[in-house]
Structure 1
Amino acid sequence: MSEVMNCPRCNTLFMKNKFRDVCDKCFKEDEKMYETVYQFLKKRDNRAATMETVINQTGVEEELLYKWVKKGRIQTKLFPNLGYPCDKCGKIITAGKLCQGCSDELKKDLQHYEANNEWKEKMKEQRTYYTMRDK
């Protein structure tokens, strides 16, 4: 579903949809930059280029490069030194939303949470009630 909004880059009104998050003018500029980056990476000598090298040599914005890698327009199988930041810590990754360290930490926290809940449930079941007798 489309909605009217301001372009995050140039502040022009446009219809946002699931395919574009910028106006037509900015989208065309992005596509020109993508073509520049793609032509750079297509050269055999540049296939192992790092993010920093690609940014410095092509003039592309870092966020655009991350976006293209994340969406799969630039494939990390073909260009192994490219990636995008982990959503939690910012470490460069090539797949998913979290790096292995953050993923392991999240799993550990979830296991701890579940174990804690299991212990609480067990304690609820094992409550002992005492009654007072009249003497």
Structure 2
Amino acid sequence: MGANQLDNCRICGTLYLKDHTDYCLDCYKDIEQEFKTVNEFLKIECNRFANIQETSQSTTVSVKRITDFIRDGRIYADDFPNLGYPCKHCGTEIKKQILCDDCYIEFAAEIDATLKNDEFLRATGRKRERPKINAQYWQARK
């Protein structure tokens, strides 16, 4: 038998026994009810083409919560043509992950370039030079 830990609920802050979720029992029940509401709404044929804002307005479930359901795989957005959420970087509508493919490729290239630069600096024994900024707001007034 594993040792359970005490933790604070991510939503309400109540202390609870952490087992399989990051939420207390009351918040977990609320989340499950919200999921059921959204799922029932999307099952109706005429609602299959609703976007995330329309779904949120019709079900009174927040856009963030619906986005979490999609990201967690509880709602399969590919089954609903207009259901998606914005990329965290550029705002393009996506249906999985956090970044769109273009932003992901851009960030991956930047990270790769930084790692190669760091490796080069390590191999040559140099240190990364930081730009010297004359921060006048730290200087004492006369």
Partner amino acid for 1:20? T
How many residue pairs were aligned?
123
TM-score for the superposition, normalised by structure 1? 0.72
Q: Which residue number in structure 2 is paired with residue 83 of structure 1?
A: 84
Does 104-113 or 27-36 show the bigger shift? 104-113
Q: Which runs of 5+ in 1 are unaligned?
A: 125-135
Q: After TM superposition, give the deviation of residue 55 of structure 1 in Å.
A: 0.4
Structure 1 7/60 Cα, relative in aligned 2: closer, same or farther at 3 Å?
A: same
CA contact (8 A) 2:42 2:48 kept: yes
Provide Cα deviations, 1:82-129, integer angstroms capped at 9, x if missing partner. 2344344554421233212211212332454466578779989xxxxx
CA contact (8 A) 1:2 1:15 kept: yes
Q: Does 1:40 align with 2:41?
A: yes
Provide Cα deviations, 1:40-83, integer angstroms capped at 9, x if missing partner. 10011101110000000000022211111001110012113223
CA contact (8 A) 2:86 2:94 kept: yes
Q: Name the larger-Rg structure.
A: 1
CA contact (8 A) 1:69 1:82 kept: no
Partner amino acid for 1:15? L
Q: Does 1:15 align with 2:17?
A: yes
Q: Distance in 2 between matches of 1:39 and 1:113?
A: 47
CA contact (8 A) 1:70 1:83 kept: no
Aligned counterparts, 1:1-135, within 5 A: 2-17=4-19, 19-89=20-90, 91-113=92-114, 116=117
Q: After TM superposition, give the deviation of residue 26 of structure 1 in Å.
A: 1.0
Root-mean-square deviation (CA, aligned residues, Å) is 2.7
Partner amino acid for 2:21? R
CA contact (8 A) 1:55 1:61 kept: yes
Q: After TM superposition, give the deviation of residue 16 of structure 1 in Å.
A: 2.7
SS in 2 for 1:55: helix
